Structure 1
């Protein structure tokens, strides 16, 4: 307890004292502050605190990385000893939003929507990877899969595939729940709206192309107006727009309806109006927009694959610093449900994470401070398993050159796998286990990319540290 008290006191002092704190909360690994003046933060003092593994500013919040299981205890002591009062994540979000420009607010809104459903999507991706191992040919047997050779495994693979596919099949329901909650409405109505868009009575979105060719698309006839009975499985834009309108309409009606009859009026009218609009206007328009954007992105990468891979692979870790990387989850999902049936962006994310881990691991052999050596080792393992924050903010960005070598290496690896057309069939664990989310026929090319980001950042960081022997640099490493 004494250690947590001391850590809380030291952190508060380093960020400019309790007078500099506007709001404070915590997530699984980080303390999140809205500060009155971030210029008062003493970053060097923060780095010297044993419990602190890194710090950074993003989306109007100053975040101090501490670690799972410890952050909540340090936060409790900080609240107790400063009297600042506990704040919810929503309180902090509202306060930090005031400091953001329109673009930052848009990016943050998407992050707020997709982060809560990320565990379901990543879990589904990992399970789909297991299904790939069981059902894909040419992995363990020539032109045959495990289930071909051992038919007794077929039903197990089928059940795994069903469990894995549920999150993607009902993805609009997950997004609807999270988006309506973010926009201030009733999240259960958002979930119902999402389920409405993938109702079994509708033509499955994945069968739309074939039905369009044969002219067998079912329609509703609404007094002469023909509306296609098409579902929106795997689509992102339709449910995002519909959720926003649903939340706003719900709030509008609620304010103007007596409380005694709100249960009978608000939800039925809201769902009916937005439901009609979703199938008549929102769905068709956003579906077309999503297809155009996806086709455009695919065309760019087909024409300039190597350049696209170099830029996205090399700059992904920089996007993490700004928080803009969350916006690409929606793009990944859209690509997976396009004609490609896979995303070429997510594999580069996985390689970027590995590169940050390799650079941090090299620093374990460079640094002399025992605390920093331990942090380098543990954070590298974390990055290899898909969590890069400790490695990036605790080690690589602090010394700069490991971060740069990681960027260069992931850019080169991204350029290679993009030129080979590597695709992931799902969004999985963004590190070494990420290979299981790659479509099996691309495993060889992706493995070469993994070798690049395992070796180049490690060797580059080590060689630079050995060649650079200036006094100021030596003191920095000590």
Structure 2
């Protein structure tokens, strides 16, 4: 087996342009990750014909080859032995790959680097909020009542679940502050403090801002005649992003200039104090307004043109995944959740993932090729659980028409659930378990949307494959 693996690895190296074309290489659970000097040298046809390779794609300046869990470790070690490039971490490969990105791609990658590390906390919170919905929402098991209304002994249990689930969203700026400051090169612990500072209980809660403004009861600081609103930024994304950038750059600048003997006394206190003042005086008010404009734009668009909005977002989400731009909409989802209490975008994302899985599953039934059958089945299961890259890059994009059929299904399903006003108060697993994150009284239209996202891509892909006489 070792000899076979070595030969296959040598074929992979040759297909991606030879070892001299590899700037850096690392691996994750299922994929080899390459930063290549010139991606145009990749021979896609030769690469796809290697039995060990289950698919490949390029994203964020990295060329990734899907191998499979467990086997990828052995393949990577063999690759290191053959090429002599030395083992690298995923961060090393990401850094090497950045030279291949244009400014827009770098900005998108920056957002991805900030939000992806905090996704486990957000998704976990979404799942727990879904469990709380099952316990508290009326009309699921009892007409007009929830489980906690009929069985009162469960009320406090649901209350604790709700507290645990809400924590990630209540202190969202703290999570973003940690990740953003770390990404910008500063001390992530200062980022946590900065984020928590923006949601300090002494500040007016952002969710109470509208009522306080209408009543004329917004509290202010008076700094030598300058009035500054004592406003918190719960659920807001832009204020902490911009403040984190300022904090990190200020800390880096001070570290270069302050002697080592007094750094502990100067760098962190000065950076945090100055950033805090700037955040409350300028960054917060400006970005809070911009964030509200963005929210209002999406709410107005989907409120007045629901069918078109759902159709277009369902159609473009999968192509956005190819470019990596889908990560930018995570910030929009969180902004919507923080501003209006839920997002109408994320449910469409879940249906898009299901549609990609359905198209891949159709290929399993349509093909007679053993390798493609195995890849189609495993990748469809992965997509149904929210991870679409194996299905998209390993199967659907390879044959093109499954990808197009999945887009048609996702767009149709997206249009239907948007017309039905389906909304998610949290972000969860973007596949079949997604209904847990949908408000309970919209489960029925969401299930119908799931049915659309399963049936249309599967049917179109299967019959077109038969028409094409796929082997």
TM-score of the two chains, using structure 2 as the length reference: 0.97
Matched, 1:259 2:241: no
The answer to whether structure 1 residue 445 and structure 2 residue 445 are counterparts is yes
Unaligned runs of 5+ in 2: none
Q: 1:68 to 1:160 in 2, by over 3 A?
A: farther
Secondary structure of the residue that 1:338 maps to in structure 2?
A: helix
Question: In the TM superposition, what is the alpha-carbon distance from 1:79 to its structure 2 partner?
Answer: 1.5
Q: Which residue of 1 aligns with 2:211?
A: 210
Distance 1:128 1:264 in 2: 42
> SS state of the match for residue 242, structure 2?
helix
1:53/1:393 contact within 8 Å kept: no
Deviation of the 1:198 alpha carbon: 1.1
Name which of structure 1's ranges 141-150 and 100-109 shifts more when overlaid on structure 2: 100-109
The alignment's C-alpha RMSD in Å is: 1.4
1: CA distance between counterparts of 2:298 and 2:376? 37
- Give the match for residue 79 of structure 1: 80
Q: CA deviation at 1:50?
A: 3.4
Q: Structure 1: state its 5+ residue gaps.
A: 470-476
* Alignment partner, residue 67 of structure 1: 68
Corresponding residue of 2:363: 363
How do 1:324-343 and structure 2 match up within 5 A?
A: 324-339=325-340, 341-343=341-343
1:4: Cα distance to partner? Answer: 4.7
Q: Tell me which moved more, 272-281 or 31-40.
A: 31-40
Report what 1:173 is aligned to: 174
Is residue 2:282 matched to residue 1:281? yes
Per the alignment, in what secondary structure is the counterpart of residue 138 of structure 2? coil
Report the alpha carbon displacement of residue 289 of structure 1 after superposing the two structures with TM: 0.7
1:430 aligns to what SS in structure 2?
A: coil
Structure 2 match to 1:474: none
Partner of 1:411: 411
Cα separation, 2, equivalents of 1:215 and 1:73: 66
**Alpha-carbon separation, structure 1, partners of 2:232 and 2:5:** 52
Q: Which moved more, 1:217-226 or 1:11-20?
A: 217-226
CA offsets per residue over residues 219-257 of structure 1, 9 Å max, x none?
222222221211111110000000011111111111011
CA contact (8 A) 2:353 2:431 kept: yes
- The answer to whether residue 125 in structure 2 is matched with residue 128 in structure 1 is no
Does residue 1:431 correspond to 2:431, yes or no? yes
2: distance between equivalents of 1:326 and 1:209? 29
Q: CA 1:365–1:317 in 2, change beyond 3 Å: closer, same or farther?
A: same
Compute the displacement of 1:61 (Å).
1.3
Aligned to 2:183: 182
Q: Would you say 1:379 and 2:379 are equivalent positions?
A: yes
Contact preservation (8 Å) 2:236, 2:339: no
Cα distance in 2 for partners of 1:141, 1:233 equals: 34
Superposition deviation, residue 164 in structure 1: 0.8
Aligned residue number for residue 91 of structure 2 = 90
- CA distance in 2 between partners of 1:366 and 1:337 (Å): 44
In 2, Cα distance between the equivalents of 1:115 and 1:87? 20
Residue of structure 2 equivalent to 1:457: 457
The aligned residue for residue 420 of structure 1 is 420
What's 2:198 paired with? 197
Tell me if the contact between 2:359 and 2:396 (Cα under 8 Å) persists in the aligned partners: yes
1:348-379 residue CA offsets vs partner (Å, 9 max, x unmatched): 00000000111111101111111210111111
Find the counterpart in structure 1 of residue 320 from structure 2.
319
1:7, CA displacement in angstroms?
4.2
Q: Do the aligned residues in 1 keep the contact of 2:359 with 2:406 (CA within 8 Å)?
A: yes
Shift in Å, 1:9: 2.7
More off after superposition, 396-405 vs 63-72: 63-72
Taking the aligned partners of 2:322 and 2:463, their CA distance within structure 1 comes to 26
SS at match of 1:50: coil
Normalised to the residue count of structure 1, the TM-score between the two structures is 0.95
Q: Is the 8 A contact 2:48 2:55 kept in 1?
A: yes
Say whether the 8 Å CA contact 1:172–1:234 is kept in structure 2. Answer: yes
SS in 2 for 1:22: strand
What is the deviation of 1:123? 0.9
Superposed counterparts of 1:220-299, under 5 Å: 220-299=221-300
Paired residue for 2:14? 13
Distance in 2 between the 1:425 and 1:91 partners? 36
Q: Matches of 1:129 and 1:46 in 2, distance apart?
A: 42
Which residues in structure 2 correspond to 1:102-141 (within 5 Å)? 102-141=103-142
SS in 2 for 1:195: helix
Q: What is the number of residues matched between the two proteins?
A: 470
